[in-house]
Chains A and B, each alone.
Chain A
């Protein structure tokens, strides 16, 4: 909403208040002012001139030499380049020394040998927005009305000595969609007098009801309809003051009748519509719902197809307006219009909104109907418009109006107690202070027991409950004056839940290992959502009803493609060594059509690509590989105290069939580690990529119980190496398990430190070397005891895996 400071000062005394002060005051009390625009800010020394004489420039076809009277003596010569300049016109003239928007300064100049003492201005040279000009005003110089006062300041004449306050209204403050509404607000904030327009309507003896008949069929959609008739109008341009007002608030002047309806709409917040009475068959207006598929050409020359939910204004034959949204072309006021029917109404807000949305036709009118207009001003606004039309376009206003009102529109009463008010705000306001605020807001009240019964004006439909009134009092009293306190209730401990703590520990470990945390989008493309989940079988992709792009149309079922996207983005920017992790949710559902909320599983996933360790002057390059991610996951699980886990090879789409494993604990899948399939890797234009994804719930379920200290060993252990040869296919984990089992109870530690094939080892075989630590808890081990257990281990390995000592 654009508010003209000048216009506003007509209703409320703004003496001593600058537009900036006003903007600040409004913003601080809840009506936010986005911007204050000073219309004529940069303009100086532009006056109204009269073109006395025009003759062609002797040396230039497109230039005219004009003798312009500036009302201060002899006419001066001005060279003008506009085609439309003619003798006898009143025009805005920038005199020598004048300033125009954009830092332009007018100096005495010579154009093709002829002296020019200033410049005749176009509308846009005066900073008037193109959209607010008629077609002929967009071209050439701005021609002013003949009665424009010669020699006077053109800026004042054009209403450009005004400031505009651009309001950013919250949805509840539709009352401020009008000048009068804003005036109420300003009068309350500044505690000043309010001067509302007085209606002085001269009606003829002829009864309107004899010529206009209103029949409201859809009473719920239109509880209130008023029509007046004005006969014998002469359509023409509006006077300059009206045009200025409309332009100031961002509306393009059209003709005197239409301009008046727009003016009153801006003044009262009540949209009005003028029909050409001759086009309304029999003067009979029927307010009814549209028939399915009914067609109408609206004022913007678009054919619209209506449906049964939309309200129309019709005559017996045709639709003449889409109620509250836009009039039809068939009954438009044109230059030949003589008689008009003027409509003011209250249309059901949500129906108006749905219609405007469906037709994609949001207008200043629909915007106001959507919020609910003030029912107490419907008739007043209609009368005001009739009065102004009679004044500006001539014509006679017929007596009375055709009124159809089916709702009482009672004012709301709200009870408020001072105790409640003070206890919600934390203030200590006195009753008379609050009553002062009611008075400034122009709310009526009476005392009912210990409470106030406040009668809320119908212009404030946003006020419905006690708390709404508390806010009214608070915002006018000033939020700044509310004290600053701390809650007085019991103190509570603030702490993480065990699961939140787990997430932080995981993050600490992975960052400690050098992985950067990333955050990515939950929405992915269809192909990525079809990767499925490691944690739930047969999940169905979840699609948005109205995605904004193909890339972001489905919910993800794994974090892996999101991490690939990050790797791809970085690789395209010459960053090929990537170590990242993300903690986030995946969305899993087995329903084809979503009826229940999907399961949101929290997972942690990581991606390593390129070099794990980059070579430097001491170290060689160490490319990422399977065992890097495996080490990360093992390290993480160890850090969390989760185990023992198994890594079991698994074949799955998108992953390298020989280099992918699921991570299991007691047969339950905690996640996976593995290499991205070379073909997928190629699609993403990446180097080898190693990945993991783990289920946070799974990890949580296997967190260890309370940790208890173990006494330190009292006796020394015996360290020994053991190298064996087994078939290539035998998995290291299996051999390790056998050794651990056979080494009980003396074997305390085991580590695999070498895997070897090649010279000295038969083809198809490999050597595995382990370091073992044996220890007895109660005494020092003897050589014989160690020899014995070692032999037992070898026997078991031979038996189980055909292993021989190397």
Chain B
């Protein structure tokens, strides 16, 4: 019996070592260690041995069994490592194939500029006011001190619907509407982005519809120097910390004094280039101290309160900022155009 067990051990170890895969290994296991296997059988036959041999034989049988089991485990580890290795090799892919696309839609460049400007002024404590795009003649002109015979009030220049109603030609009427709504309260600190309309033939630099952003700050003791300060801060946040601004006297019926505001050329930084016509400056804003008549008409005591207002063209800023050469791109919405603004 002893010999039988040792032979069995030798045989089992040899077969285990030779096993090629898990299936074979499993077979071998069943064959040697299974309930019907030779070792179980040997143990069952233990009763037939003389009692003094039983402990030794029992010991031997268990030894053999343990050795086989250990060999088995060892082999099983080897085989599964090999299997895993094969699996991983099989699963290897071409990591250069394109990934599954995830695309976020674009913000229209005009909206992007508006949002940027809004963020700057919100940070300075302004709120955003809105007003009608179809406006009463009174708010668009009269209340802004633009007299009846002013050329802008010509049917040729503005889109009138009736004699009293037109598409607003600027966002300035929102100033008046806001002041009226506030009923003399101060401070009034608003910006008003919006669509405006003028009777221009569409071409590379003109559009019958475009966007403006208006700003208004009315309080006690507002000075023209404050206008400079706020606009300088705006220019620096919008166009860079080294920006300079320059005010030039100008004329708007609803401000006095009035100023055109230039910023240092964002392309050449004041060196002089094609965009700034070699001057180093580009005009981006109209501004001024709110005309006392505008304040009075809206119910504010112009002796006590002063304010400043400014307005800028969104298209112009977007065109300067992104080097766009044709204003019509904003309104035809060619997706090859729009998708260039995915990253802004």
**Chain A residues proximal to chain B, CB less than 8 Å:** 27-30, 32, 170-173, 349-350, 353-354, 357, 423-427, 465, 467-468, 470-471, 474-475, 479-480, 482-497, 500, 507, 510-523, 542-548, 552, 555, 566, 569-570, 573, 575, 578-581, 585, 587, 593-595, 597-598, 600, 616-619
Q: Given A479-B249, A487-B230, A497-B128 in contact, is the A522-B197 Cβ separation under 8 Å?
A: yes
Name the one of A512, A570, A618 contacting B334, with C-beta atoms under 8 angstroms. Answer: A570
Residues B104 and A578 in contact, CB atoms below 8 Å apart: no
Residues A519 and B230 in contact, CB atoms below 8 Å apart: no
**Which residues on A sit within 8 Å (CB–CB) of B132?**
597, 600
**Which residues on A sit within 8 Å (CB–CB) of B167?**
522, 544
B150 at the interface (CB under 8 A from A): yes
Q: Given A482-B224, A500-B128, A552-B208 in contact, is the A520-B333 Cβ separation under 8 Å?
A: yes
CA A471 to CA B248, docked complex, whole Å = 11
Flag the segment in B14-22, B30-38, B157-165 that touches A. B157-165
B220 at the interface (CB under 8 A from A): yes
Residues B292 and A467 in contact, CB atoms below 8 Å apart: yes
Residues A474 and B97 in contact, CB atoms below 8 Å apart: no
CA A69 to CA B182, docked complex, whole Å = 82
Residues A487 and B226 in contact, CB atoms below 8 Å apart: yes
Against A, the Cβ 8 Å flags (1 = close, 0 = not) of B101-137 are 1011111101100000000011111111000111110
CA A691 to CA B207, docked complex, whole Å = 28
CA A418 to CA B17, docked complex, whole Å = 110
B338 at the interface (CB under 8 A from A): yes
CA A466 to CA B208, docked complex, whole Å = 37
**Which residues on B sit within 8 Å (CB–CB) of A350?**
148-149
Against A, the Cβ 8 Å flags (1 = close, 0 = not) of B172-191 are 00000000000000110100
Selected A-B contacts with CB under 8 Å, 21 pairs: A30-B248, A32-B248, A424-B257, A426-B223, A470-B256, A470-B257, A471-B256, A479-B247, A479-B248, A480-B246, A484-B225, A484-B232, A487-B230, A516-B106, A516-B335, A518-B338, A542-B161, A545-B160, A587-B133, A600-B132, A617-B97
Closest 4 CB pairs of A and B: A426-B225, A30-B249, A426-B223, A471-B257
Q: Given A28-B248, A496-B128 in contact, is the A468-B334 Cβ separation under 8 Å?
A: no
Residues B226 and A474 in contact, CB atoms below 8 Å apart: no
Give the interface SS of chain B, mostly helix, strand, loop or mixed.
Answer: mixed
The residue on B at minimum CB distance from A580 is B333
Residues A474 and B257 in contact, CB atoms below 8 Å apart: yes
Residues B209 and A523 in contact, CB atoms below 8 Å apart: yes
Residues A171 and B151 in contact, CB atoms below 8 Å apart: yes
Residues B125 and A492 in contact, CB atoms below 8 Å apart: yes
Residues A489 and B221 in contact, CB atoms below 8 Å apart: yes
Give the interface SS of chain A, mostly helix, strand, loop or mixed.
Answer: loop
**Which residues on B sit within 8 Å (CB–CB) of A569?**
332-334
Q: Given A30-B248, A570-B334 in contact, is the A471-B258 Cβ separation under 8 Å?
A: yes
**Which residues on A sit within 8 Å (CB–CB) of B39?**
none
Name the one of B106, B161, B197, B228 contacting A543, with C-beta atoms under 8 angstroms. Answer: B161
Residues B223 and A598 in contact, CB atoms below 8 Å apart: no
Residues B226 and A494 in contact, CB atoms below 8 Å apart: no
Residues A573 and B334 in contact, CB atoms below 8 Å apart: yes
Residues B189 and A492 in contact, CB atoms below 8 Å apart: yes
Residues A424 and B248 in contact, CB atoms below 8 Å apart: no
**Which residues on A sit within 8 Å (CB–CB) of B331?**
519-521
Chain B residues numbered 136-154 whose CB sits less than 8 Å from any CB in chain A: 136, 148-151, 154
Against A, the Cβ 8 Å flags (1 = close, 0 = not) of B246-262 are 11111100001111000
The residue on A at minimum CB distance from B152 is A171
B239 at the interface (CB under 8 A from A): no
**Which residues on A sit within 8 Å (CB–CB) of B221?**
423, 487-489
Residues A471 and B232 in contact, CB atoms below 8 Å apart: no
Residues A489 and B248 in contact, CB atoms below 8 Å apart: no
The residue on B at minimum CB distance from A350 is B149
In this complex, which of A27, A172, A487, A516 has the most chain B Cβ atoms within 10 angstroms of its Cβ?
A487
Name the one of B124, B187, B256, B332 contacting A490, with C-beta atoms under 8 angstroms. Answer: B187
**Which residues on A sit within 8 Å (CB–CB) of B126?**
492, 494
- Supply 4 further A-B pairs (C-beta < 8 A) apart from A480-B247, A580-B105: A32-B248, A475-B249, A492-B187, A545-B160
Residues A483 and B104 in contact, CB atoms below 8 Å apart: no
**Which residues on B sit within 8 Å (CB–CB) of A547?**
159
Residues B161 and A544 in contact, CB atoms below 8 Å apart: yes
B195 at the interface (CB under 8 A from A): yes
B289 at the interface (CB under 8 A from A): yes
B310 at the interface (CB under 8 A from A): no
The residue on A at minimum CB distance from B120 is A494
CB distance from B280 to the nearest CB of A (A): 12
B47 at the interface (CB under 8 A from A): no
Q: Given A467-B291, A495-B127, A570-B334 in contact, is the A587-B155 Cβ separation under 8 Å?
A: no
**Chain B residues proximal to chain A, CB less than 8 Å:** 97-98, 100-101, 103-108, 110-111, 121-128, 132-136, 148-151, 154-156, 159-162, 165, 167, 186-187, 189, 195, 197, 199, 201, 208-209, 217, 219-226, 228-230, 232-233, 246-251, 256-259, 289, 291-292, 306, 330-336, 338-339
Q: Given A426-B225, A519-B333, A573-B334 in contact, is the A173-B251 Cβ separation under 8 Å?
A: yes
CB distance from B102 to the nearest CB of A (A): 8
Residues B250 and A170 in contact, CB atoms below 8 Å apart: yes
Residues A465 and B335 in contact, CB atoms below 8 Å apart: no
CB distance from A700 to the nearest CB of B (A): 14
**Which residues on A sit within 8 Å (CB–CB) of B124?**
494
Name the one of B101, B127, B189, B250 contacting A30, with C-beta atoms under 8 angstroms. Answer: B250
Residues B100 and A619 in contact, CB atoms below 8 Å apart: yes
Name the one of A468, A575, A593 contacting B256, with C-beta atoms under 8 angstroms. Answer: A468
Q: Given A425-B225, A511-B105, A570-B334 in contact, is the A519-B111 Cβ separation under 8 Å?
A: yes
The residue on A at minimum CB distance from B189 is A492
**Which residues on B sit within 8 Å (CB–CB) of A349?**
149
Q: Given A423-B223, A474-B257, A597-B165 in contact, is the A578-B335 Cβ separation under 8 Å?
A: yes
CA A689 to CA B24, docked complex, whole Å = 62
Residues B100 and A618 in contact, CB atoms below 8 Å apart: yes
CA A427 to CA B229, docked complex, whole Å = 13
CB distance from A169 to the nearest CB of B (A): 9
CA A42 to CA B168, docked complex, whole Å = 47
CA A542 to CA B166, docked complex, whole Å = 11
CB distance from B109 to the nearest CB of A (A): 9
**Which residues on B sit within 8 Å (CB–CB) of A475?**
249, 257
**Which residues on B sit within 8 Å (CB–CB) of A512?**
104-105
**Which residues on A sit within 8 Å (CB–CB) of B150?**
171
The residue on B at minimum CB distance from A510 is B105
The residue on A at minimum CB distance from B149 is A350
Residues A424 and B229 in contact, CB atoms below 8 Å apart: no
Name the one of A426, A479, A491 contacting B259, with C-beta atoms under 8 angstroms. Answer: A479
**Which residues on A sit within 8 Å (CB–CB) of B223?**
423-426, 485
Residues B228 and A484 in contact, CB atoms below 8 Å apart: yes
**Which residues on B sit within 8 Å (CB–CB) of A425?**
223-225, 257
CA A496 to CA B165, docked complex, whole Å = 30
Residues A465 and B333 in contact, CB atoms below 8 Å apart: no
CB distance from A752 to the nearest CB of B (A): 25
CA A489 to CA B185, docked complex, whole Å = 13
CB distance from A490 to the nearest CB of B (A): 7
**Which residues on A sit within 8 Å (CB–CB) of B122?**
494-496
CB distance from B226 to the nearest CB of A (A): 4
CA A595 to CA B136, docked complex, whole Å = 10
In this complex, which of B104, B222, B249 has the most chain A Cβ atoms within 10 angstroms of its Cβ?
B249
Residues A548 and B208 in contact, CB atoms below 8 Å apart: yes
Name the one of B105, B162, B259, B330 contacting A515, with C-beta atoms under 8 angstroms. Answer: B105
CB distance from A98 to the nearest CB of B (A): 29
CA A555 to CA B26, docked complex, whole Å = 82
CA A530 to CA B186, docked complex, whole Å = 44
**Which residues on B sit within 8 Å (CB–CB) of A511?**
104-107
**Which residues on A sit within 8 Å (CB–CB) of B334?**
569-570, 573, 575
CB distance from B209 to the nearest CB of A (A): 5
Name the one of B127, B133, B160 contacting A546, with C-beta atoms under 8 angstroms. Answer: B160
In this complex, which of A32, A516, A575, A580 has the most chain B Cβ atoms within 10 angstroms of its Cβ?
A516
